Structure 1
Amino acid sequence: MKSAPASDLPFMDAFAAPSQEAWRAAVDKVLKGADFEKRLVGKTADDIRIEPLYEAASPALRPLRGEAGRWHVAVRLDHPEPAEAQKLALADLEGGADFLSIAFAGARAARGYGLVADDVAALDASLDGAMLDLIRLRLDPAPQGRVNALLLAALVEKRGLSPDTLTIDFGLDPIGLLASQGSLAAPWPEIGRRLADTVRALKARGFAGPFITADARPWHEAGASEAQELGAMLATAIAYLRALENEGFPLEEARDAISFVLVADTDEFLTIAKFRAARLLWQRVQQACGLSPKPMILHAETAWRSLTRRDPWVNLLRGTIATFSAGIGGADSLIVQPFTAALGLPDGFARRVARNTQLVLLEEANLWRVADPAAGAGSFEALTLALCEQAWGVLQGLEQRAADGLPGIVAALASGTVQADLAKQREARAKAIATRREPITGTSEFPNLKETPVAVLAVAPVGRPTPRTELRKASEQDQGDLIDQLAGGATRDAALSAPEDSVQAQALPSQRLAEPFEVLRDKADAAPQRPVVFLATLGPIADFTARAGFARNLFEAGGLSAPSGGGFAKDGVTDIAALVAACTASGARLACLCGSDAAYAAEGRAASQALTTAGATVWLAGRPGDMEAELNQAGVTSFIYAGGDVIEALTRAHAIVAA
């Protein structure tokens, strides 16, 4: 009887395992004296080191999803008109989705659109044909979120469904609304009372929840780093835990009432680590509260800030990476932003591609079949733990801001501390975007000036709902009675409460990373004719191709056409007269010299003088080095090179071509 092999891969035993020292010696040989740290070690926005090589880690027992198997394919119901919203929703459900996220008008996630439903009849029409006991529902946090929750509960009652057979996340998130819109509907103690009353009323009807959402999206859209996003999300959840506990809820019930929303971005490693860290951190919070930990309910959404309006087809790649990362990281459900979302309300095709992105990864790639694929991978384990440490520090910092009866996260928003911290992150990232250290494919790199437009629905934005002015105080309203009134046909105004003096804060901005480049592209597109930059190439084509390609890519990122031909070489030198004639014929006010260092030394001065005499402003592609003063004297006014501020250069270029 043969003995079992020592390894599943016995042939690997023939090779000696290399040591870290041997690997480092080989790397140093290749680097030839270059700085190891600068070349091979990266840093995250939280200053976490990303090493080029990690040793295998011993996987530890980690909190996983509460429900084994596939994550849920979610789509957003956000068309303003109930009948049209219903058609889109049914197409999504028939096409493989099993989770509807309802974004009422005014919801941040609706981006100026959102379902307009002032009564149960309108909400019922938007969900006509949807079997609510076979799918999952979630309300996106929105103004009048309490009323939206009561409307949905009233719809369930009207349809005669048993709440205990349904899975509904009611999405109440007043802190998220404070961050997004700059105010609470009432003082914080009153907000806690209203939350508790609404949760009690819904539980009394048989709904299991969750009822409250700790939503990280406002922080992410405002530029938060991974640790800031996690810390703010957890601080929000802790504020809700305390609010419900103060209103008499046992901590276990308060914990079970909360769900989470986290953003999946285009950095695969950090997104996977972030989702894994979120579960570890929530487990730690529960332990600190003396609770026996339960898995968090973790919804995911691909990043709004990574979407582009230019070359939106690249958003398909961004969405795929984010979907993969959220799935591997352990999301319970996921919404993929349709690739045209930054341009308007997505049509059926864009929605179909978004949900199919998930279905392909579920059904064909089978990503869901392993509970934690990253377990034991040194890089993911190290990043997960580093993010936990950083996020816990952010959480503690926010908790220390508690003052005047306000929880830490609310007090930090009211004082402007959060806004200042996020502004620093936005500034740092904006610099990385402007210098293309963080390139945006199709926007800052490899732009396409001949892109064809994509289709979106012809729907006008709807804005926020406007209630009537004479309203009852919230303390005079019984939530259970309101559900009955709404089920009987009352409008949402019956459930609104009178405004009260409340906490105010500077609203967090919602910014996409590509916006600075898109502003320049829009400016160029608005011109009667597309502005042109003349690429004044020196020497034979083999000598100028690299820098001409760099310059064309840079100028086209701002919408400026920069065609290059076969050059002006003649008998081994540049025909400067022909070059100047071509520049004049192009009508370009800006000319950019493109060539090798040797060509700049031999012909740069003469070419610049000739172009300047002909009336062109002259730039040069590349770093000038010792020739800078000489080239400046010859007429070169600016230099473009890798690592320079492209936004600043393009802004100046626009001013020149428009003069």
Structure 2
Amino acid sequence: MSAPVDLQDWRRLALGVLRKSGLAGEDTPPDAVDELLSTETYDGVRVAPLYTAADPAPPAGQPGRAPFVRGASTAPRPWDVRQRHADPDAKATRAAVLDDLEHGATSLWLAGIAPADLAEALDGVHLNLAAVVLDNGADTLEAARAFLALPGEEKSGNLGADPLGWEARTGQRADAGLLATLVRSSPIPVATVDATVYHDAGAADAEELGYATATGVAYLRELVAAGLSAGMALGQLEFRFAASADQWATIAKLRAARRLWARVAQVIDVPHRGGMRQHAVTSDAMMTARDPWVNLLRTTVACFAAGVGGADAVTVQPFDARLGLPDGFARRIARNTQSLLIEESSVARVLDPAGGSWYAESLTDAIAHAAWEVFNEVERAGGMAAALRSGQVSDRIAATRQRRLDDIAHRRQPITGVSEFPDLSERRPVRAPAPVPPSGGLPRMWYSESFERLRDAADAAAQPPAVRLVALGPPAAHSARVAFATNLFAAGGVRLSAEPSAVACICGSDRSYAEEAAATAERLRAEGVTKVWLAGRPGDYAGVDAYLYTGCDALAVLQQTHADLKVVAP
């Protein structure tokens, strides 16, 4: 039987590994391990390498009870499988809707379907069985009236009014009386707080939650002013959050969101009504147009995290969403991803599976506190509308977005299939164009877009761009750095080749560099090469212009290479 191992034993063992990797010195004490291995989120939340019972976190409570961290339900139940439809062709939408409902979807999210086309798009749908959530932006009032006028009295879902979210997306002033107008005649909830607009602009998790909370409070004020009680007003809202492939962050974000909203309900003296209705949708920003099949992995992880995090409804974006309108196969895979997790993996058979994890509880608490600070910042500015119009929201998100872009450029946040391990011979599916999303407000970002623009330019070039490979020594001495350089250049659509080129890359061992790098660079210059890269850490090698190494600005390397090879963007 082995001897028990305590935290200090773990630190000593970890320190040994850090010393071998050069990240710690011989005089580094074991207590420094936690700091050396800690990371920080874009919210400034410190993530430790190891969590124990000594890490503080407030009690999460019981499922179905305030503060609802562990969910609003007292018993396990499958989440609502909600499929999104945005095809402006009402006939095509109707066929897709009926197919989805027949094969596993339990509710519908109609994004941008013209109010006049709702009757055709929903023809044959039993509205008393399948909930419908509208998403019509400036046409919300007209769409709501068209939907409520459809045959059948027992409808469910949400009319999707989100004037502040629309203002955030488009810059168009919110209709201050929209919710009050809708609630007077609607038997179903009227408002959706869509926080994905902030996520899509590059916001951190706590910023997304803080702005969602501030928006929800603004809507509560309007509904109470329209004559609803505080409890009734709470029942009019549904919240939409992005679920990313960062599994633990998504789980903690959804749990923290419920805690924040429970605090709001407590302040307005209806704590028992503070259970937040959550709709999680797999992140748009993380989806790639290149190697789109990898999106299947991203959305599966995100869907799992949304289910574990306690979302009431989940939408999985089809893997081809960046390419245009998804086809039937892509929608089927999106549905079946949820069915597999619910039915075969039994994720929905356990209440709050992450509950009790020291990491999950600590991260939930930290995100909740960071988000509450964002919410208070907005309230001090005069509320969400004032914060949007003053530029406070856009300025804060812009700073986060820039940090995120810097991490992506340096591949500290790698994107598989794009910035890492790209496939230059890929054959992507072709899809019908999707409607152009609304714009004019907060910018919309895709994490992969900077690298994908370079790939597009390379594909459009008259001759595929290539860098001349110069390998020094036997394969054992240069193969690792050749693989590294090949992968990096491919992220910009650039191949390594033995053919002549204006740009060359030297790959070898440190020893071969010391002996041959300067002479090799001189020879390349004589052969007409104008730019010489060397795969390795920066050194003092005559004739070498720049270096490729882990942690370098890969995006800048590729942009410079495109310029040197005279690749013109389409």
Q: TM-score with structure 1 length normalisation? A: 0.80
What's the CA shift string for 1:398-421, capped at 9, x where partnerless?
10000xxxxx11101100011110
Greater Cα offset, 209-218 or 26-35: 26-35
Aligned residue for 2:240, secondary structure, equals strand
Paired letter, 1:650: L
Counterpart of 1:379 (choices 343, 354, 359) is: 359
Distance 2:72 2:298 in 1: 24
Alignment CA distance shift 1:296-1:545 (3 Å):
same
Counterpart of 1:514 (choices 442, 445, 448) is: 448
Indicate if the aligned counterparts of 2:290 and 2:428 stay in contact, CA closer than 8 A.
no
Alignment CA distance shift 1:225-1:459 (3 Å):
closer
Counterpart of 2:495 (choices 553, 561, 574) is: 561
Alignment CA distance shift 1:127-1:658 (3 Å):
same
Q: Within the alignment, does 1:128 sit opposite 2:123 as a pair? A: yes
Distance 2:250 2:364 in 1: 10
Indicate if the aligned counterparts of 1:141 and 1:173 stay in contact, CA closer than 8 A.
no
Structure-to-structure mapping, 1:224-623, within 5 angstroms: 224-294=203-273, 295-402=275-382, 408-456=383-431, 458-459=432-433, 461=435, 507-563=441-497, 582=498, 586-616=499-529, 617-623=531-537
User: Post-superposition shift, 1:117?
Assistant: 4.0
Distance 1:623 1:462 in 2: 44
What's the CA shift string for 1:532-557, capped at 9, x where partnerless?
11111100001101111111111000
What's the CA shift string for 1:190-226, capped at 9, x where partnerless?
x13x321211111xxxx1x321111111000011101
Paired letter, 2:435: P
Paired letter, 1:87: A
Distance 1:529 1:38 in 2: 49
Q: Within the alignment, does 1:69 sit opposite 2:104 as a pair? A: no
User: Post-superposition shift, 1:386?
Assistant: 0.5
Distance 2:174 2:395 in 1: 24
What's the CA shift string for 1:88-136, capped at 9, x where partnerless?
11111111111111112xxxxxxxxxx2342xxx322111222111211
Distance 1:101 1:460 in 2: 16
Counterpart of 1:658 (choices 546, 549, 566) is: 566
Aligned residue for 1:139, secondary structure, equals strand
User: Post-superposition shift, 1:185?
Assistant: 5.0
Counterpart of 1:154 (choices 132, 149, 158) is: 149
Q: Within the alignment, does 1:638 sit opposite 2:556 as a pair? A: no
What is aligned with 2:39?
Answer: 42
Distance 2:481 2:436 in 1: 48
User: Post-superposition shift, 1:137?
Assistant: 1.1
Alignment CA distance shift 1:459-1:550 (3 Å):
closer
Distance 2:216 2:434 in 1: 35
Paired letter, 2:408: I
Alignment CA distance shift 1:218-1:463 (3 Å):
closer
Distance 1:227 1:117 in 2: 35
Distance 2:213 2:4 in 1: 42
Counterpart of 2:202 (choices 207, 213, 223) is: 223
Alignment CA distance shift 1:178-1:522 (3 Å):
same
Paired letter, 1:370: V
Paired letter, 2:141: R
Alignment CA distance shift 1:462-1:314 (3 Å):
closer
Distance 2:548 2:527 in 1: 22
Alignment CA distance shift 1:644-1:463 (3 Å):
closer
Indicate if the aligned counterparts of 2:115 and 2:146 stay in contact, CA closer than 8 A.
no
Alignment CA distance shift 1:141-1:18 (3 Å):
farther
Aligned residue for 1:52, secondary structure, equals coil
Counterpart of 2:165 (choices 172, 176, 187) is: 176
Distance 1:463 1:608 in 2: 49
Aligned residue for 1:229, secondary structure, equals helix
What is aligned with 1:89?
Answer: 97
Distance 2:214 2:246 in 1: 24
The percent of aligned pairs where both chains have the same amino acid is: 43
User: Post-superposition shift, 1:184?
Assistant: 1.9
Alignment CA distance shift 1:286-1:655 (3 Å):
same
Indicate if the aligned counterparts of 1:619 and 1:636 stay in contact, CA closer than 8 A.
yes
Alignment CA distance shift 1:247-1:439 (3 Å):
same
Distance 1:43 1:18 in 2: 27
Paired letter, 1:44: T
List runs of 5+ in structure 1 lacking aligned partners.
1-13, 105-114, 403-407, 465-504, 564-581
Alignment CA distance shift 1:561-1:38 (3 Å):
farther
What is aligned with 1:196?
Answer: 180
Distance 1:38 1:515 in 2: 33
Paired letter, 2:533: W
Aligned residue for 2:494, secondary structure, equals coil
List runs of 5+ in structure 2 lacking aligned partners.
26-31, 63-67
Aligned residue for 2:138, secondary structure, equals coil
Distance 1:98 1:279 in 2: 23
Indicate if the aligned counterparts of 1:416 and 1:506 stay in contact, CA closer than 8 A.
no
User: Post-superposition shift, 1:462?
Assistant: 6.8
Indicate if the aligned counterparts of 1:82 and 1:117 stay in contact, CA closer than 8 A.
no
User: Post-superposition shift, 1:25?
Assistant: 2.5
Aligned residue for 1:374, secondary structure, equals coil
Distance 1:277 1:288 in 2: 17
Greater Cα offset, 135-144 or 213-222: 135-144
Alignment CA distance shift 1:371-1:41 (3 Å):
same
Count of residues paired in the alignment: 544
Paired letter, 2:535: A
Aligned residue for 1:74, secondary structure, equals strand
User: Post-superposition shift, 1:39?
Assistant: 4.4
What is aligned with 2:10?
Answer: 23
Q: TM-score with structure 2 length normalisation? A: 0.92
User: Post-superposition shift, 1:245?
Assistant: 1.5
What's the CA shift string for 1:471-522, capped at 9, x where partnerless?
xxxxxxxxxxxxxxxxxxxxxxxxxxxxxxxxxx971011100000011000
What's the CA shift string for 1:358-380, capped at 9, x where partnerless?
11111110100111001110000
User: Post-superposition shift, 1:450?
Assistant: 0.4
Distance 1:84 1:592 in 2: 51
Paired letter, 1:413: L
Indicate if the aligned counterparts of 1:308 and 1:514 stay in contact, CA closer than 8 A.
yes
Aligned residue for 1:587, secondary structure, equals coil
Distance 1:17 1:300 in 2: 42
What is aligned with 1:487?
Answer: none
Alignment CA distance shift 1:222-1:252 (3 Å):
same
What is aligned with 2:65?
Answer: none
Indicate if the aligned counterparts of 2:538 and 2:546 stay in contact, CA closer than 8 A.
no
Aligned residue for 2:290, secondary structure, equals coil
Aligned residue for 1:334, secondary structure, equals strand
Distance 2:469 2:340 in 1: 44
User: Post-superposition shift, 1:384?
Assistant: 0.3
Distance 1:529 1:320 in 2: 38
Indicate if the aligned counterparts of 1:591 and 1:618 stay in contact, CA closer than 8 A.
yes
What is aligned with 2:156?
Answer: 167
